[in-house]
A and B are shown apart, each in its own frame.
Chain A
Amino acid sequence: MTYQVSELSGRPQSGPVDSPAPSALASLARRARSALSDYGLLVAFFVGWHVASVTGLLNPAVFPPLDRVGQALWNGIASGRLVGDIAISLQRAGIAFFAAVALGIPLGLFMGQIRAVERALDPILQLFRQTSALALYPVFILLLGLGEASKVFVIFWATLFPILLATIGGVKEVDPKLIEMARTFGASRLTTFRRVVLPASVPAIFVGLRLSATTALLLLIAAEMIGANKGLGFQVMNAQYNFQIPLMFAAIFLLAVLGLAANWVLVLLQRRLCRWSTAKH
């Protein structure tokens, strides 16, 4: 059973109120207006680009008209060339991200619970976190070679810290009054952890996850630009070297879509897990 907020608090519903007999036309107009206010600027940006490029206001060699970018994108996908790049990029970022999640969340939950461990590890964590992962990339290459391992590892390294620190923060900020409440009912340490500390930390963990997803893509592109012969980041660089500017923009476009998709999945997951929270994402 679900309840609307307005039913309980007596506040008026914030959404639009339907008129008694909404005609299909009026409904269509309303949706168009809403879409315009949401995406109007985005569309204007692309239209402006295209027009400026076609009319020569912008150098079409640097900013090609969008139909040529679209053509390059289509050719790349149809020929399977960009598909291979997407696959390898997803694989690198995916493995690194999930490894960071698999290590960062349990470690963070543990460290957040035990003050002594957290205090002992905090200085070294701060040092590692403040050291740019890209600065360490040469070290990882020396250790792991120029292959997949070093690329995955540098992404893993950079993604680990946002997750770890967000999880530690989440656990530390659990209201001690809730923990005390659970104890008065005779909850064991483990039960208190499972029923109170863990669910209370979920929103903070998600902040870390979303930050990490962004970081993963950033590092992916950098690592692929530095030492790869496949992948979207490589493709951006390579297309630029070969002056295939539409292809370069196609790869950039795909990277943007990848970032949006990752964020969208996480937001969806967060909404499912945090239905109780009022926080807007």
Chain B
Amino acid sequence: MTLVQTQIKGEVTIRGLSKSFLLDGETLTVLKGINLDIRGGESLAIVGASGSGKTTLLRVLAGLEEPDTGDVLIDGAPVHGLGRERAVIFQEPRLLPWLTVLDNVAFGLEVQGVSKPDAAERARRYIRLVGLAEFEGAWPRQLSGGMAQRVGIARALTVQPEILLLDEPLGALDAMTKMTMQEELTRIWHEEKVTMVLVTHDLEEAIFLADRVLVLPGNKGDAIRLIDVDLPRPRDRNDTAFVGYRRQLMAGFGLH
């Protein structure tokens, strides 16, 4: 253990975390004895087969689920439940259809008691950041899937969280939009200097975005693997080293 205090906020420590659900009278263990340190400002991807518990892990980090045992610490302090230092981006944009883009983005701030004009001003800044300045008066139904997800991302960013939790945020987008959005997320992460925890089933996305990739095993007995992605940014998906990481990750799932 290091004695030097890190200055970057948004550090997450997970100790002995377990979580199980009751399904048809049977206990289903989803997470078992997870230990993990996420550095402040790091970009961490969590991958794993369906049922490996990656979304559950993210929901526990968000405070949407309580762990059965174990602790989650943020910047050294144990946390229970939801907190303002964390913001969640879901697979669906989850926009409120009766609010314009501007009001949707300002929603998080308004809920947290920021006055309407202040919230709108900050919201505008993030709407510009995700490239939707011309659409702040549009209704959600008028937006494409990629645009709607940008709004969701802007809404999470306006509350200026230390930790951004993303649950397969690009999973519902088409391949082209997805790649553009991955580049956008890299840029946003770089500009906002937040800790980013990303759950994805897309191995290439994990390598493209993350400093480290956490691989959750399908079998609870198997070890959790943590892979350092030592590639300079901006990353090239066709780079030999990139392909090497992809091959390594795929092999872990028995894929070629």
Interface of A with B (CB < 8 Å)? 1-3, 5, 8-9, 177-178, 180-187, 191, 195-196, 199-200, 202, 274-278
Whether A186 and B141, one on each chain, are in contact in the complex, defined by CB atoms closer than 8 angstroms, is no
Q: Can you list 10 pairs linking A and B with CB atoms under 8 Å apart?
A: A1-B137, A3-B135, A183-B64, A184-B62, A184-B88, A185-B107, A185-B108, A275-B139, A277-B97, A277-B141
Interface residues of B in 173-215 (CB under 8 A from A): none
B94 at interface by CB-CB < 8 Å: yes
Whether A177 and B111, one on each chain, are in contact in the complex, defined by CB atoms closer than 8 angstroms, is no
Residues on the B chain within 8 Å of A278, using CB: 141
Known: A185-B112, A186-B82, A186-B84. A8 touches B94 (CB 8 A): no
| B188, chain A: closest CB distance, angstroms | 18
Compute how far the CA of A30 lies from the CA of B41 in the bound complex, rounded to whole angstroms.
64
Compute how far the CA of A53 lies from the CA of B141 in the bound complex, rounded to whole angstroms.
52
Whether B112 and A186, one on each chain, are in contact in the complex, defined by CB atoms closer than 8 angstroms, is yes
A interface: dominant SS: helix
Known: A5-B142, A186-B111. A199 touches B92 (CB 8 A): no
Compute how far the CA of A5 lies from the CA of B178 in the bound complex, rounded to whole angstroms.
24
| B101, chain A: closest CB distance, angstroms | 10
User: Which one, B97, B111, B143, contacts A276 given CB within 8 A?
Assistant: B97
| B142, chain A: closest CB distance, angstroms | 5
Interface of B with A (CB < 8 Å)? 62, 64, 82-84, 86-88, 90, 92, 94, 96-99, 107-108, 110-112, 135-144, 159
Q: Which 7 A-B pairs have the closest CB atoms?
A: A1-B137, A185-B108, A181-B94, A276-B98, A187-B111, A8-B142, A184-B88
Q: From A5, A276, A278, name the one whose CB has the most chain B CB atoms within 10 angstroms.
A: A276
| B46, chain A: closest CB distance, angstroms | 18
| A268, chain B: closest CB distance, angstroms | 18
Residues on the A chain within 8 Å of B98, using CB: 199-200, 202, 274, 276-277
13 other contacts beyond A8-B138, A177-B94, A276-B99, with CB at 8 A cut-off?
Answer: A1-B137, A5-B142, A177-B92, A182-B107, A182-B111, A184-B86, A185-B87, A185-B107, A185-B108, A187-B111, A191-B111, A195-B96, A276-B97
How many A-B pairs have beta carbons closer than 8 Å: the answer is 69
> Of all chain A residues, which has the CB nearest B91?
A177
Residues on the B chain within 8 Å of A187, using CB: 111
Compute how far the CA of A277 lies from the CA of B140 in the bound complex, rounded to whole angstroms.
10
Residues on the B chain within 8 Å of A3, using CB: 135, 137-138, 142
> Of all chain A residues, which has the CB nearest B143?
A8
Whether A195 and B111, one on each chain, are in contact in the complex, defined by CB atoms closer than 8 angstroms, is yes
| B151, chain A: closest CB distance, angstroms | 12
Residues on the B chain within 8 Å of A274, using CB: 98
| B174, chain A: closest CB distance, angstroms | 16
Q: From B92, B94, B137, name the one whose CB has the most chain A CB atoms within 10 angstroms.
A: B94
Residues on the B chain within 8 Å of A178, using CB: 94, 96
Residues on the B chain within 8 Å of A199, using CB: 96, 98
> Of all chain B residues, which has the CB nearest A182?
B111
Residues on the B chain within 8 Å of A191, using CB: 111
| A182, chain B: closest CB distance, angstroms | 7
Compute how far the CA of A1 lies from the CA of B142 in the bound complex, rounded to whole angstroms.
14
Residues on the B chain within 8 Å of A5, using CB: 142
Compute how far the CA of A277 lies from the CA of B138 in the bound complex, rounded to whole angstroms.
12
| B167, chain A: closest CB distance, angstroms | 11
Residues on the B chain within 8 Å of A177, using CB: 90, 92, 94
User: Which one, A1, A180, A185, contacts B111 given CB within 8 A?
Assistant: A185
User: Which one, B83, B92, B142, B159, contacts A9 given CB within 8 A?
Assistant: B142
Compute how far the CA of A191 lies from the CA of B83 in the bound complex, rounded to whole angstroms.
16
Whether A1 and B94, one on each chain, are in contact in the complex, defined by CB atoms closer than 8 angstroms, is no
Residues on the A chain within 8 Å of B112, using CB: 185-186
User: Which one, B107, B135, B141, B144, contacts A195 given CB within 8 A?
Assistant: B107
Whether A8 and B82, one on each chain, are in contact in the complex, defined by CB atoms closer than 8 angstroms, is no
Compute how far the CA of A274 lies from the CA of B139 in the bound complex, rounded to whole angstroms.
11
Q: From A181, A199, A202, A277, name the one whose CB has the most chain B CB atoms within 10 angstroms.
A: A181
Compute how far the CA of A195 lies from the CA of B88 in the bound complex, rounded to whole angstroms.
19
Whether B96 and A196, one on each chain, are in contact in the complex, defined by CB atoms closer than 8 angstroms, is yes
Whether A184 and B135, one on each chain, are in contact in the complex, defined by CB atoms closer than 8 angstroms, is no
